[in-house]
Amino acid sequence: MTSEGAARLNLALATCLIAFGSTVTPLSAEEMPKDFVYLRDIDPSIQQDMRYAGADNFTGKPVPGYDAAECVLVRQAAEALKAVQDDLKPQGLTLKVYDCYRPTEAVAAFVAWAKTPDDPHAKAVHYPSLNKTDLFPEYIATRSGHSRGATADLTLAPAGTPVTHPTGMSCTAPQQGSAPDGGLAMGTSFDCFDVKANTVTQGLTPEENENRTRLLKAMSAHGFKNYAPEWWHYTFEPEPYADTYFDFPIRPRADGGQE
């Protein structure tokens, strides 16, 4: 998309958000606001598997707005995640984040993807029991709480477990002892558009139920509330920007490195 086209899209999106009674930062802003931070700068021990910065996601390609594989959050949420991580370390566990702050540009890209012809591979992996036409707006909405900066998608993993990216496996496939990406078995993979992804649902093993409960308790202890349709989705409350949707891009950290 040209810069002119992007500007038109941003303007239209801003108008839509305001019409719904919410505000949005100036969409031309390129710099991260001062009260947003890189999670890696707050706690580098938290594992990051930032799916939308690469091709391992339901769109099959890097998503606009994700120019770096970095978790960005408002400081309060990042520091709360550090507190969760501190509780988990004695248990030999780590948080693993899949997504954090999400630019509204990325949300618009998701909506556009939902309206394109079906992709058999994406269906087999991410929504095996649904038609693509069922995804919007029930699963893919025009606005995302991630754009407010206090929401993270995450799981638990054994400390030191390397990140793996298996391909072609249904998100609802049975998990034998661990998730395909090395996390604890949760019953589905991340970004699974299926009722089985509901935090409380039927068809889980006792181990999967226990792991979901462990994650829920660990996050709730430090101010995070779960979104019931997605076991991986947590929002820090009270949200510092409960009515504001941001659109600055996720850039590489100043030192240019990722650990």
Question: Coil, strand or helix: which one is 21?
Answer: coil
Residue 80 CA neighbour count, 13 Å, CB half: 23
Determine the distance from the C-alpha atom of residue 186 to the mean position of all C-alpha atoms in its chain, rounded to a whole number.
16
Q: Identify whether 26 is preceded by a cis peptide bond (ω within 30 of 0).
A: no
Q: What are the CA-CA distances from residue 42 to residues 69, 74, 80, 96 (Å)? A: 16, 11, 10, 14
Residue 230 annotated among the catalytic residues of the structure: yes
Residue from 70, 105, 208, 230 carrying the catalytic annotation: 230
CA angle 88-227-185, nearest 5°?
Answer: 50
CA nearest to 224, candidates 117, 115, 95, 80: 80
CA–CA gap between residue 42 and residue 31 (Å, rounded): 19
| DSSP bridge partners of 97 | 48, 154
Query: Would you please indicate which residues are annotated as catalytic (active-site) residues?
Result: 230
